[in-house]
Structure 1
């Protein structure tokens, strides 16, 4: 999954090029409102296809680069505050490396040794599994965005060369003009080669108070998730609960990975997809039993089970009690307080608080 804000500026650019930005987005299940919503998330693949379609249908091979020209750091949400207020460029890159998954669950960024071994040079390595699906416009958008953020942070940052993992989509001269440096195509990954001393350059106007607040927010809300594929899978399952059993290939697709790669990553963390799915079902079931009056048949279907007897069996395994016993215990604890009604729309659980006390408890 990825934040829809990745496409901020897309509708207006498509319109200017003679298309219909809103309609083109909606073709891939993305609304213009989602693009302007800092919290909206959509499948990363949908973003990739939206970029590819715009470039092809509007005969605009540099669409990704053009869109990066229109975006500012706000597309990264809370992460942008931490990055823009870092003490040095090295600190900013370290922060992005740790928390970029908040923006897009499948991508990563890291400092690596210079691939051509030039003294005093390091490389920023950006990895997007979408390149395996041919989403070259998305690679250009990301590379262009990194380039612009570096320039906004410290001005001319001395880019030595940039390596892109695809052939030139537009004339090579367009890339050279955009980046102001040598561009090498069909590389194994995306790399921006920069002077190593740049990492110690202070970021002007950084505010350490804002930096502290934003880092504390990221640490409290996303602690260690950047290191855990298990957590990324869990987040994807939670965002896409349906009445059918979630499939590992579908989850892998949403994370821009191959199913076997996902299996190996989970195995490296000592777990399996089935175990992560079981935990997600357990937590959703516990909340529905304790906080709602949803019928058992509907809970059974919602978490992807076929028979209510199966629900009873797994709830006994999870909690050592029947579903009704779990619900009755919650009622006793509340002393008969008003319950929360639930509506299930699409892939989202909507908890509707019907009593004032419940509204106050929800904040």
Structure 2
């Protein structure tokens, strides 16, 4: 038995998407929700259809009209952080997560004065610092978690970021703060690219 929900829930989303240049009615028809059902706010529609339509509408709004503090770089950085946890954090994966073409993403980042490579490097730097200073994870595991293939790549990257080896960064953090009490004291010397 399907769970039903009131169509009135969709009225505002359809109108907002229409107003912003999308086609809200076409979006809802894609999920089997008719314009008549929306016009009759008491009509019942499958809750699954309602949920999928709301999710797509929210993604459309987030993608095309992010908040003023949500720059492309901020959205890419959040996607990189998610991708590092879930899979590979390459530009193709992140572009798919943000539902934009790779080149469009690169142009938007260039317009903001940054690159995907710089954002990925900063994400890796921040995560590596936290893992080195706040955990006892082995270096090989940290290497994997930040998306590098070899431990030597981690050592080179940490030397570039902090001017020290990963073990030296870990030891310095432990010498200054009790275990688990903070984020450490080392800060990157440069962001790289």
Q: TM-score, normalised by structure 1?
A: 0.36
2:72–2:108 Cα contact (<8 Å) kept: yes
Match of residue 174 from structure 1: 36
The residue matched to 2:89 in structure 1 has which SS? coil
Match of residue 69 from structure 2: 225
Shift of residue 267 of structure 1? 1.3
The residue matched to 1:225 in structure 2 has which SS? coil
2:14–2:24 Cα contact (<8 Å) kept: no
Shift of residue 311 of structure 1? 0.5
How many residue pairs were aligned? Answer: 154
Which structure shows the higher strand fraction?
1
1:243–1:304 Cα contact (<8 Å) kept: no
The alignment status of 1:273 with 2:135, answered yes or no, reads no
1:244–1:305 Cα contact (<8 Å) kept: no
Shift of residue 171 of structure 1? 8.8
Q: Which runs of 5+ in 2 are unaligned?
A: 42-56, 58-66, 184-193
2:84–2:146 Cα contact (<8 Å) kept: yes
**CA–CA distance in 2 between the matches of 1:177 and 1:273?**
44
**CA–CA distance in 2 between the matches of 1:142 and 1:255?**
20
Q: Where do 1:29-48 residues align within 5 Å?
A: none
Match of residue 307 from structure 1: 150
Q: Which runs of 5+ in 1 are unaligned?
A: 1-13, 18-62, 72-139, 148-159, 180-189, 191-222, 341-357
1:243–1:301 Cα contact (<8 Å) kept: no
**CA–CA distance in 1 between the matches of 2:75 and 2:102?**
14
Shift of residue 270 of structure 1? 1.5
**CA–CA distance in 2 between the matches of 1:311 and 1:304?**
10
CA RMSD in angstroms comes to 3.6
1:252–1:259 Cα contact (<8 Å) kept: yes
Q: TM-score, normalised by structure 2?
A: 0.65
Q: Where do 1:107-146 residues align within 5 Å?
A: 142-143=13-14, 146=16
